[in-house]
Amino acid sequence: MSMEAGFELGFASLSNEVTDRSLAVEGSLPDWLDGALVRNGPATFEAGGERVEHWFDGLAMLHRFAFDGREDAVRYTNRSLRSETYRRAMETGEISGQFATGGGYLRRIRQLLFGDPTDNCNVHVARVDGSLVAMTEVPRYVACDPETLESRGEFAFADALTGHVNCAHVLPDPHRGETIGLLTTFGRPSEYMLYRLPDGSRSRERIGSVTIEDPAYLHSFALTERFVVLTEHPFVTTPASFLLPGRDSFVDHYDWRPERGTRFHVLDRETGERVATAVTDPWFVFHHVNAFEAGAGPNGDGDADELVVDLVAYPNADVVDGLYLTEAADWFESGRDGHLRRFRVPLGGGPVASEPLYDGCELPRVAPGDRTKAYRYVYAQGAATRDGNHVAKVDVTTGESHRWEESGLFVEEPVFVRAPDAERPSDEGVVLVTALNTNERRTDLLVLDGETLDERARAPLPHAVPFGFHGRYLEE
Ligand SMILES: [Fe+2]
């Protein structure tokens, strides 16, 4: 793969690490911005001269951008996650046990089913009881220092909940003081199990579960005030297949079975009881945007009679194949297939309605305070061309949208931070977004105005960061 063309820099390894580096800021930062943006993503794509096969399999690196209320400075730290997978890769030259990279399937099966799966936690970060915890799609977690990002070894929850697949998108609900999460356990039958983690606790509590013969690959879910929504697309596995030869990696064990359709399972957050299941056309989803309760109830009693669920839907699971590094050109195609859609899931039976909101986007974000509530604004990464991509802002109440873009720049996940004195669902605030600047062969941190998307500030990094996944803005 040529390293000359530009966007390929987004799939090139980064090993350079800096500590608490002051980045010069062009423009000015709002004086109320005093937290830190922490991001996670793959950054090392080779070991022992071999390249991993899938974007999701690069070794994790964390990045931290700390704001301290100064208008002209951001402090930047980045660290490769010193996971066991990382240490082994550096020692043996082999990156093992990953999402889609082949080799040694028996070991991986045993890792997956009998413990010791990968701890290459490159997907997301969460704050758990004062710790910064890096997460991936199996239930192993690495604790990191929230300021220096130094790895502190394996993170252990203070409970006995287990599973084989971990949903890295845990959902903090600031209105309820808890985080909701999801674990999938393979078995006969298999089970999607929901848990709650009260703020300040390390002990997860089981809410309830859905049992299923052939479990789907669930990357995220949605939350309303009273309900959890599990969206079960037909990208499913037969757990016994993990014991058979012939398939080489985790994701090879999943098949697209469109005849099953896509199902919404609605569970009561308090009792864990399943209150509705609704089936619709088959489509694939990585990321939910937000969800909330709507309608006045069939008897006008004020209870919700439907759930509004916004997510980025794909026509099928081809996007997973499009993210293989050998098919990086397909990356552009796959991004265009992500459609922001609004689904209306009836609680009392009946068809699921849906409407399009924005075509060609991924990595959608809303203000954390908008979660579970009727809301207005989504920020997302717009689909790329070879010349760059854009930040999209969508008003989900009107369908209006606009964008920020600059030739040669590839933005990552845009994180909206609402101004402290602004009230929901205001867009007063800033959008923090890193962007690979292929013109300058480095990454820039951009601070965009939440209302207009006008650029307020830009801080160039001392290196180019490969395309990452998710981050959180952590209040100080
Ligand atoms: Fe994700």
Q: How far is CA 188 from CA 185, 191, 234, 266, 422, in A?
A: 10, 9, 18, 22, 50
Q: What 3-state DSSP class applies to 367? A: coil
If you measure from the C-alpha of residue 70 to the centroid of ligand 1, how many angstroms do you get, rounded to a whole number?
Answer: 31
pLDDT, average across residues 76-100: 85
- Asked whether the predicted pLDDT for residue 387 surpasses 60, the reply is yes
If you measure from the C-alpha of residue 124 to the centroid of ligand 1, how many angstroms do you get, rounded to a whole number?
Answer: 7
If you measure from the C-alpha of residue 296 to the centroid of ligand 1, how many angstroms do you get, rounded to a whole number?
Answer: 33
If you measure from the C-alpha of residue 428 to the centroid of ligand 1, how many angstroms do you get, rounded to a whole number?
Answer: 26
Q: What is the model's pTM?
A: 0.94
- Asked whether the predicted pLDDT for residue 9 surpasses 70, the reply is yes
If you measure from the C-alpha of residue 459 to the centroid of ligand 1, how many angstroms do you get, rounded to a whole number?
Answer: 25
If you measure from the C-alpha of residue 44 to the centroid of ligand 1, how many angstroms do you get, rounded to a whole number?
Answer: 19
Estimate the share of the chain in helix, then strand, then coil, as percent rounded to the nearest 5. Answer: 10, 45, 45
Instruction: Please give the torsion angle defined by the CA atoms of residues 371, 375, 381 and 383, in that order, rounded to the nearest 10 degrees.
Output: 130
If you measure from the C-alpha of residue 283 to the centroid of ligand 1, how many angstroms do you get, rounded to a whole number?
Answer: 17
Q: How confident is the model at residue 98 (pLDDT cuts 50, 70, 90)?
A: low
Lowest mean pLDDT among 126-130, 149-153, 250-254, 266-270: 250-254
Q: How confident is the model at residue 3 (pLDDT cuts 50, 70, 90)?
A: very low
If you measure from the C-alpha of residue 321 to the centroid of ligand 1, how many angstroms do you get, rounded to a whole number?
Answer: 16
Q: How far apart are CA 214 and CA 305, in angstroms?
A: 29
Q: How far is CA 41 from CA 78, 127, 413, 426, 438, in A?
A: 11, 17, 11, 29, 19
Q: What is the tens place of the pLDDT at every residue in 216-266?
A: 999 999 999 999 999 999 999 987 776 665 556 677 788 999 999 999 999
Query: Where do the domains of the chain lie, and which CATH numbers do they carry?
Result: 7-474 (2.130.10)
If you measure from the C-alpha of residue 301 to the centroid of ligand 1, how many angstroms do you get, rounded to a whole number?
Answer: 37
Q: How confident is the model at residue 2 (pLDDT cuts 50, 70, 90)?
A: very low
If you measure from the C-alpha of residue 413 to the centroid of ligand 1, how many angstroms do you get, rounded to a whole number?
Answer: 10
Average pLDDT of the chain, as a whole number? 90
If you measure from the C-alpha of residue 69 to the centroid of ligand 1, how many angstroms do you get, rounded to a whole number?
Answer: 30
If you measure from the C-alpha of residue 46 to the centroid of ligand 1, how many angstroms do you get, rounded to a whole number?
Answer: 22
Q: What is the tens place of the pLDDT at every residue in 453-473?
A: 999 999 999 999 999 999 999
If you measure from the C-alpha of residue 286 to the centroid of ligand 1, how many angstroms do you get, rounded to a whole number?
Answer: 6
If you measure from the C-alpha of residue 167 to the centroid of ligand 1, how many angstroms do you get, rounded to a whole number?
Answer: 9
- Asked whether the predicted pLDDT for residue 11 surpasses 70, the reply is yes
If you measure from the C-alpha of residue 123 to the centroid of ligand 1, how many angstroms do you get, rounded to a whole number?
Answer: 7
If you measure from the C-alpha of residue 26 to the centroid of ligand 1, how many angstroms do you get, rounded to a whole number?
Answer: 30
Q: How confident is the model at residue 57 (pLDDT cuts 50, 70, 90)?
A: confident
If you measure from the C-alpha of residue 312 to the centroid of ligand 1, how many angstroms do you get, rounded to a whole number?
Answer: 11
If you measure from the C-alpha of residue 27 to the centroid of ligand 1, how many angstroms do you get, rounded to a whole number?
Answer: 31
What pLDDT score does 109 carry? 44
